[in-house]
Amino acid sequence: MIQYVGVNDHQVDLFEGQYHVKNGMSYNSYVILDEKIAIMDTVDIHFTEEWLKNIHNILEGRLPEYLVVLHMEPDHSASIQKLLEVYPDITVVGNVKTFPMIEQFFPGLKLDHKLAVKEGDILDLGTHKLKFVFAPMIHWPEVMLAYDMTTKSLFSADAFGKFGALDMEEDWKEEARRYYIGIVGKYGLPVQNLFKKVAGIEIQTIYPLHGPILKENLNYYLDLYNTWSSYKAEEDGVCIAYASIYGNTKKAVEELASKLTCKVELFDLARCDMAQAISKAFQYSKLVVASPTYNNGVFPPVEAFLHGLVERSYQNRVVGIIENGSWAPTAKKYIEQYFANSKNIMILEESVTIKSSLDEASKKQIEDLAYNLTNN
C-alpha cells in the first residue's frame, strides 16, 4: 500500500527564491507499507513536525526500514536528520552522488545505515519491488526515479511536478509548464534520455515530489513533457513580450496584436510574472520582442526576459522584433545577439523600428510584420 504523507505550504511566497506561487506549494512524500516499510523522500524543514506526525499516524507503531532519497534539494531532503533522530535504525537509500550531498547539507551527521544503489538495482520490500532509474540533471546530478514493478507506479522526483498546494484548485498544465520551463527547462536532453529509458515500461500512476498524483490519462502528461523537453511549441500562436517607458512601444504592440488573426498573448515585462512570460514564450510557435533602446542596449526587463529564454535553451521558434529609439535605435541589434547561438531560431527580416512614436512608416512595418508572423 502506498500512502501520501506530504504537506502543503501556504507560507512560501517565492519558491526557490524567485518563482511566485500564489497558491503555495506541496512537498510530497510517500510511505510504502509492506513487509518492509519505505519512506519516499522528506519535506521542507519548516514542515518537519507535521510530516513526522503524518508518518507516525500511518505507521501505527511499526518502524520503517528504509528512507529512499530520490533528490537532494532541501525542499525534499531537509528533514533527513530529524527523521533519523526519530528512527535511528532506518537505512538511507541513495546513490554514490547522494551521500556526499547529505554530508554537505548535514555536516557531522553520521549515517550508521546506508545503502548505495546502482542503475537497475531493485529494493525488495515484500510485495512492492522498487527498481531504480537514474535521471542525472533532471535537474540535479544525483536524481533518480523509482519504479514500483508491482503497482506499475513511477516515483518521479521533480519530474511531472507543478507549482501550487494540493488543497488549491488550478489548471495543471499552466502551472506545470511554468514549473518545468523555469526549473527543468535547460535540461531537455536529460529528460529525453529518461524517456528512452522508460520506453516500453507500463506506468499506471506517477507520484511526483510536487503537485498531484497522476493516475488518469497519463499520455496527456507524458506528451506535454515530451513536447517541452524537445523544445517544440504546444500550439500555433504569438507571444508578445514588451516593455514601454512612455507608452509608445506599448501602442506599437497593441497595434500589432490587433492585426494578428491567430492566438496572441501580451506580456508587459516590467509588470508581469517573468516566469509566466518565459513559459508562454515556450508555449507558442512565435515570439515578438519589443523594446525601447536604453543605454545603447535593450530595456532591463526585456534583457532579463531574453536571458531567461536563452538560458533555458529556447529554440525552434519564429521571432519578430520591434525596437524604439528617439535618436539612435539599437535594441534590435542586441536582441538578435541574444539569439545568435540559439538553435533553429528564424528572426523575421520584417522588423519594426519606431523613432519615438508610431508614424505611417512604422505602421506599415507593423502590417508587414503581422503578415509574416501569420504566414511563417
pTM for the whole thing? 0.94
For each of the chain's 376 residues, which pLDDT tens digit applies?
Answer: 999 999 999 999 999 999 999 999 999 999 999 999 999 999 999 999 999 999 999 999 999 999 999 999 999 999 999 999 999 999 999 999 999 999 999 999 999 999 999 999 999 999 999 999 999 999 999 999 999 999 999 999 999 999 999 999 999 999 999 999 999 999 999 999 999 999 989 999 999 999 999 999 999 999 999 999 999 999 999 999 999 999 999 999 999 999 999 999 999 999 999 999 999 999 999 999 999 999 999 999 999 999 999 999 999 999 999 999 999 899 999 999 999 999 999 999 999 999 999 999 999 999 999 999 998 8
Q: What is the DSSP string of 163-180?
A: SB-TTS---HHHHHHHHI
The confidence score (pLDDT) of residue 232 equals: 98
- Taking the C-alpha atoms of residue 22 and residue 11, their distance in angstroms, rounded to an integer, is 10
Which helix (H) or strand (E) covers residue 354, if one does? strand 352-354
93-116 pLDDT, tens digit per residue, is 999 999 999 999 999 999 999 999
What is the model's pLDDT at position 376?
Answer: 85
In angstroms, rounded to a whole number, what is the distance separating the alpha carbons of residues 176 and 214?
Answer: 12
| The predicted structure's pLDDT at residue 13 | 95
Whole-angstrom distance, CA of residue 224 vs CA of residue 177? 9
Q: Pick 238-371's CATH classification: 3.90.850.10, 3.40.50.360, 3.30.365.10, 3.40.50.11540.
A: 3.40.50.360
Residue 27: is it exposed, middle or buried by C-beta count within 10 angstroms (0-12/13-18/19+)?
A: buried
Beta-bridge partners for 297:
294
CATH of span 2-229? 3.60.15.10
CA distance 198 to 269: 39
Q: How do the domains of the chain map onto residue ranges? A: 2-229, 238-371
Domains 2-229 and 238-371 alike in fold:
no
| Beta carbons of 175 and 160 less than 8 angstroms apart | no
- Please say whether the beta carbons of 115 and 90 come within 8 A: no
